[in-house]
């Protein structure tokens, strides 16, 4: 799928998780619901860091483009080192390592560790990166004509303000993990969810997605998981734009109502 649909699906997934948390008597404070949805929307773009033409590769200028090249090479090297006899030859690393559950868990764990060990500045870095990505994904029509600096300023301002809201007594910095020093440990969760939702979205497209690597399926370690081929579509097609994106918006709205206790 393309960036906007990925971001919408990420936000919808977190809002749906908020509804589930409410049903399980672990309701998210509204700041956690909002901030988590934005982080998840941004994280749903992150697996495409292995593609030089993706939204994330141009979101932070030369820095993200350089990281993109490095990640692509690492992903390709991992693919070559671990591919099975039935896995095809490839020329690059797109839709390999960064499109797996292993990568999703690693990114989430790294974000949680940063938030805990580096404290507020670590949280701000995690928020800033994902606010910029959320802006690029959800507000792509406005973001693309704008300068990178304006998007970065909006991301930095949003990160600072949201961190202040979360730090209030009812903000929810200690949601789910309430022990001293564990505040913000939950920020890794929307990152994991966003990355996995991205993979599931790509699994619906023609190429499929090796989200279950390194578990072997059909004699392949990089099995392109997906529905039957007749149910798949091309990225950016009318199915994505006219059907799935509106469904993500509707699902997100229902999830938000459920998370706030208005539904269910």
Evaluate if residue 52 carries a pLDDT over 90: no
Q: Cis omega (within 30 of 0) on the bond before 233? A: no
Q: How many residues does the chain have?
A: 264
Q: What is the Cα–Cα distance from 67 to 249, expressed in whole angstroms?
A: 31
d(CA 242, CA 97): 30
**Count of CA atoms in the C-beta half-sphere (13 A) of 158:** 21
Residue pLDDT, tens place only, 185-221: 999 999 999 999 999 999 999 999 999 999 998 889 9
Question: Could you tell me which of 15, 87, 10, 88 has the C-alpha nearest to residue 46?
Answer: 10
DSSP codes, 204-241: TBTT-B-TTTTS-BTTBSS--B-S-GGG-B-TTSHIII
* Residue that wins the pLDDT comparison between 147 and 48: 48
| Rg for the chain, CA atoms, rounded | 18
Distance CA(77)–CA(87), nearest Å, equals 14
CB 49 within 8 A of CB 74: no
Would you say residue 142 has pLDDT above 70?
no
* Cα dihedral across residues 44, 50, 54, 60: positive or negative: positive
Give the dihedral sign, CA 174/176/178/183: negative
Compute the CA torsion angle 254, 245, 108, 131 (nearest 10 deg). Answer: -90
Beta bridge partners of 209: 225
The alpha carbon dihedral of 226, 232, 235, 236 has a sign of negative
- Residue-wise pLDDT for 245-262, tens only, equals 999 999 999 999 999 998
For the entire predicted model, the pTM comes to 0.93
Q: Which residue is listed with tokens 């959320």?
A: 134
CA nearest to 20, candidates 176, 200, 246, 127: 176
Dist CA 29 CA 200 (whole Å): 27
Of the candidates 87, 110, 89, which has an alpha carbon nearest to the alpha carbon of residue 210? 87
The pLDDT tens digits of the residues spanning 115-126 come to 889 888 999 999
Least confident of 1-10, 32-41, 186-195: 1-10
Question: For residue 90, is pLDDT > 80?
Answer: yes
Helix locations, 24-147, DSSP H = 30-43, 55-59, 61-82, 101-117, 119-138, 140-143
Residues 6+ apart with CB under 8 A from 139: none
């Amino acid at each position: 799928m393309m960036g906007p649909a990925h971001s919408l699906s990420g936000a919808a997934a977190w809002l749906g998780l908020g509804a589930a948390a409410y049903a399980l008597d672990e309701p998210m404070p509204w700041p956690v619901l909002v901030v988590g949805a934005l982080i998840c929307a941004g994280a749903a773009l992150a697996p495409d860091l292995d593609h030089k033409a993706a939204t994330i590769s141009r979101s932070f200028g030369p820095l993200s483009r350089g990281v993109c090249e490095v990640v692509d090479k690492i992903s390709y090297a991992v693919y070559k080192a671990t591919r099975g006899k039935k896995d095809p030859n490839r020329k690059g690393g797109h839709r390999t390592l960064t499109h797996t559950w292993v990568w999703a868990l690693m990114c989430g764990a790294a974000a949680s560790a940063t938030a805990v060990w580096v404290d507020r500045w670590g949280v701000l870095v995690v928020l800033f990166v994902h606010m910029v990505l959320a802006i690029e994904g959800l507000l792509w029509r406005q973001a693309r004509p704008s300068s990178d600096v304006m998007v970065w300023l909006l991301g930095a301002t949003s990160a600072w303000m949201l961190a202040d809201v979360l730090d209030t007594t009812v903000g929810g910095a200690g949601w789910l993990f309430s022990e001293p020093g564990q505040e913000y440990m939950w920020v890794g969760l929307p990152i994991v969810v966003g990355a996995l939702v991205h993979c599931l979205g790509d699994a619906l497209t023609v190429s499929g997605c090796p989200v279950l690597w390194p578990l072997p399926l059909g004699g392949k370690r990089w099995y392109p998981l997906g529905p039957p081929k007749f149910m798949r579509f091309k990225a950016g097609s009318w199915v994505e734009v006219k059907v799935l994106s509106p469904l993500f918006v509707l699902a997100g709205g229902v999830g938000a109502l459920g998370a706030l206790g208005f539904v269910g």
